[in-house]
């Protein structure tokens, strides 16, 4: 087994460098393959962006880990979520992200951009750094997803070069689905949308690739 990088937590190293999920992951085989494909996209974009090995490992780990608790029941997950003030109000289907971040934090992971990326991969978040935005996009664009096959292929082709435009188009598609189905938009998602629709990308947000 490869020696964990000195600055990377062993769980992050196992996921990002060895594509191994933690023992506490609860996922179907299909979901595991989804996380691997998301991780592959992040690994690829990170490489194109010229990141060093440590960063590429962190990016792929976000993909491997983001749905690690997708198969766990909301009843089990809700009390585990410690980073949200309003966890009681969150729909059960969205709890796997914040619960996974809480579990990683409890295990000693203190990589805040990675924890925010995982916690809010379904909702988006105004605190996203490049990794949060990348996971939000890769989760939607991985090639195993059904539907919108040509559209997703075209978005993948434009990434990571056309970063900010693709991010806006994906957020429009995802939030548009909520509107069409008359599903309430979480406040966190509304805050993310405010930044997406700003005339200029906020400071620290990539325009054409971080
Ligand atoms: Fe998810
Ligand atoms: Fe996912």
Domains within the chain, CATH numbers bracketed: 10-196 (1.10.3210.10)
Nearest ligand to residue 69 Cα: 1
- Cα 159 to ligand 1 centre (Å): 21
**Are 167 and 136 a contacting pair, CB within 8 Å?**
yes
- At residue 142, the pLDDT reads 98
- Cα 72 to ligand 2 centre (Å): 14
Nearest ligand to residue 118 Cα: 1
Torsion of CA 32, 33, 34, 39, to 10 degrees: 90
- At residue 184, the pLDDT reads 86
**Are 83 and 119 a contacting pair, CB within 8 Å?**
yes
Nearest ligand to residue 138 Cα: 2
- Cα 67 to ligand 2 centre (Å): 5
Residue found by looking up tokens 């990002």 in the block? 16
Nearest ligand to residue 100 Cα: 1
Nearest ligand to residue 142 Cα: 2
**Are 134 and 209 a contacting pair, CB within 8 Å?**
no
- Cα 67 to ligand 1 centre (Å): 5
- At residue 201, the pLDDT reads 73
- At residue 157, the pLDDT reads 98
Predicted confidence pLDDT, tens digits, the chain (210 residues): 455 555 899 999 999 999 999 999 999 999 999 999 999 999 999 999 999 999 999 999 999 999 999 999 999 999 999 888 777 888 899 999 999 999 999 999 999 999 999 999 999 999 998 999 999 999 999 999 999 999 999 999 999 999 989 999 999 999 999 999 998 888 899 999 998 888 877 776 666 655
- Cα 68 to ligand 1 centre (Å): 8
- Cα 210 to ligand 1 centre (Å): 23
Cα four-point dihedral sign 103, 5, 13, 1: negative
For residue 175 the two structure tokens come to 């939030």
- Cα 96 to ligand 1 centre (Å): 7
- At residue 206, the pLDDT reads 64
- Cα 184 to ligand 2 centre (Å): 20
- Cα 157 to ligand 1 centre (Å): 23
- At residue 175, the pLDDT reads 95
What is the distance between the alpha carbons of residues 102 and 166, in angstroms, rounded to a whole number?
Answer: 29
């Amino acid at each position: 087994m490869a020696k964990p990088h000195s600055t990377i937590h062993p769980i992050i190293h196992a996921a990002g460098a060895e594509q191994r999920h933690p023992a506490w992951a609860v996922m179907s085989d299909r979901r595991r393959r989804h996380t691997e494909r998301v991780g592959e996209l992040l690994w690829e974009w990170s490489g194109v962006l010229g990141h060093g090995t440590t960063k590429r490992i962190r990016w792929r780990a976000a993909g491997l880990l983001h749905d690690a608790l997708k198969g766990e029941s909301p009843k089990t997950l809700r009390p585990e979520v410690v980073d949200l003030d309003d966890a009681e109000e969150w729909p059960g289907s969205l709890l796997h992200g914040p619960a996974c971040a809480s579990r990683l934090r409890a295990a000693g992971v203190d990589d805040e951009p990675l924890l925010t990326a995982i916690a809010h991969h379904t909702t988006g978040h105004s605190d996203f750094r490049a990794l949060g935005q990348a996971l939000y996009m890769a989760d939607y664009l991985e090639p195993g997803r059904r539907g919108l096959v040509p559209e997703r292929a075209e978005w993948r082709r434009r990434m990571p070069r056309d970063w900010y435009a693709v991010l806006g188009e994906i957020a429009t598609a995802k939030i548009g689905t909520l509107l069409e189905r008359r599903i309430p938009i979480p406040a966190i998602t509304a805050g993310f949308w405010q930044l997406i629709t700003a005339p200029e990308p906020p400071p620290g947000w990539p325009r054409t690739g971080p």
